[in-house]
Amino acid sequence: MPKHIGFLIYNEHQMLDLSGPLCAFQVAARASGDEAYRLHVLSVSGERVRSTVGLVLETEALGDVALDTLIVVGGAGSRLLGDGEISAIRGAALKTARVASVCTGAFVLAKCGLLDGRRATTHWRFAAQLQRDYPNVQVAGDLIFSKDGHVWTSAGITAGVDLALALIEEDLGPAVSRAVAQELVVYHRRPGGQSQFSAMLEMTPESDRIRLALGFARDHLTEPIPIERLAAVACLSVRQFQRAFKRETGETPAKAIERLRAEAARSRVENETEGIETIAASVGFSDPERMRRAFLRLYGAPPQAIRRSARR
């Protein structure tokens, strides 16, 4: 029996959030040899829907199809859906075995209450806003994609393809997922825990206090940076600082400092010949093993592998 995969869109959705994963599942259906999937482009009421690039698509009504997986795409319209639309999406999601979002589609799932108490990700630019708007969500803004139970979320734009490959692998196994990646000429596949590109270096917190603390951390990476020191720079108590930092960046202070050190180290790992131990010490890691674990979490590979890849 084929699995029915539904892609929920709305006016002002991001076209690539739809087309990338949609094509991945279409290729998987062909590559599996047994028509593994039936694909549906859906809207709440089955109307014509306009994307952010102006293309207008025909859709099926959300309630007309029994789904195995519901994928909510992202786009500017994701935060403009009304209460009636959210209620319909929530009702359909509760009847679906697997639910996912691409990019800011996570805001739709969060508004439906489907991310409460769950770990989730979104485009790095909107991670802090997702955390502020929905404090019950455990936002991991550094991930390419995340799975928590039957709910999957992904980062922005092309990360939807990584999400689709992971879902295909869960359904049909790694061989089919790998064949789809080869057909699409993409990596098979970036690990879900791999970091979104330079997210922390691009983040600009709203308040001067948190900006000052981040700037201080960047300037003092080679030194121990306990949270008490950062809180003092921000003129906040430790508890106030922790809450404000997480709210404005989507990261804990410890994770942010680890990321800053790893990003500083990566350029040197790729472009210089000095030893890994020397680089680790020069950016503030207490030992090379800590840097290796940070690289695995953030980039999906240890420093030595990243150096070899850069040389090739």
Q: Annotated active-site positions, please?
A: 103
CB 108 within 8 A of CB 78: yes
Alpha helices in the chain (DSSP H): 15-32, 83-94, 105-111, 127-133, 159-172, 174-184, 199-202, 208-219, 227-233, 238-249, 253-271, 276-282, 288-299, 303-311
- Distance in angstroms (rounded) separating the CA atoms of residues 217 and 61: 50
Beta bridge partners of 98: 69
User: What would you measure as the largest C-alpha separation in the chain, in angstroms?
Assistant: 62
AA letter at 281: A
Q: What is the DSSP string of 22-82?
A: HHHHHHHHHHHSS--EEEEEEESS---EEBTTS-EE--EEGGGS--SEEEE--SGGGG---
The label of the residue with tokens 């789904």 reads 67
The helix/strand/coil state of 213 is: helix
Q: Report which secondary-structure segment, H or E, holds 245.
A: helix 238-249
